[in-house]
Chains A and B, each alone.
Chain A
Amino acid sequence: GQQLNQSPQSMFIQEGEDVSMNCTSSSIFNTWLWYKQDPGEGPVLLIALYKAGELTSNGRLTAQFGITRKDSFLNISASIPSDVGIYFCAGQDSGYALNFGKGTSLLVTP
């Protein structure tokens, strides 16, 4: 599958801070999805993006589909301890198979 570069690899922040993470690809994607994974559990869908330039929010989460269709970012505002986990971006190109990034590990201290 296509190589997705997700950054940063890890973040260590204080409760209340805002967080930003992004994914880039050398090729175009038709759909971007953002997932959160807690240890030992399956990925949980946070936000799905379908159109270039689309900006979508889900509570304190905001994600955007880059206009070049090769990147996406996820912002978390006013972080709380339960935001701790690994965040994955995933893209779909011509088929339905999801191509995942390597994840951003988020740690939040009270």
Chain B
Amino acid sequence: EPEVTQTPSHQVTQMGQEVILRCVPISNHLYFYWYRQILGQKVEFLVSFYNNEISEKSEIFDDQFSVERPDGSNFTLKIRSTKLEDSAMYFCASQGPGAYEQYFGPGTRLTVT
């Protein structure tokens, strides 16, 4: 069964450094998302991406964040200058055409020290 994959599974970085989190969505899907989950809390929406542009974003998704679909398979989240409070699990999700179900990847645990 097709699934969303994410790399790396765990990323440790120093405050102020840039990180890029990578996702490979399910192949025929058209809508792509990033969510984050701070330890012990609920999953929070960051951004949605469709037709090579951002379609929605939350207040969390400020100028430090950017997303890109550099080729036909990858979808990336970049955090330009990480802060301690960016430490969280980051989940990528994708959604097929004409559907509402979002399928999540296994997540990348980001630890900012």
Q: Which residues of A contact B (CB under 8 A)?
A: 1, 31, 33, 35, 40-45, 48, 50, 88, 90, 92, 95-103
Closest to A102 in B: B42
Q: Is the CB of B100 within 8 A of A96?
A: yes
Cβ-Cβ contact count across A and B, 8 Å cutoff:
62
Residues on A with beta carbons closer than 8 Å to the beta carbon of B91: 42-43
- A-contact 0/1 string along B38-56, CB 8 Å cutoff: 0001111100100000011
Q: Which of B56, B93, B100, B107 has the most CB of A within 10 A?
A: B100
Q: Is the CB of B42 within 8 A of A100?
A: yes
Closest to B105 in A: A42
Q: Is the CB of B48 within 8 A of A95?
A: yes
Q: Is the CB of A43 within 8 A of B100?
A: no
Q: Is the CB of B104 within 8 A of A96?
A: no
Closest to B9 in A: A40
Q: Answer yes or no: B95 CB below 8 A from chain A CBs.
A: yes
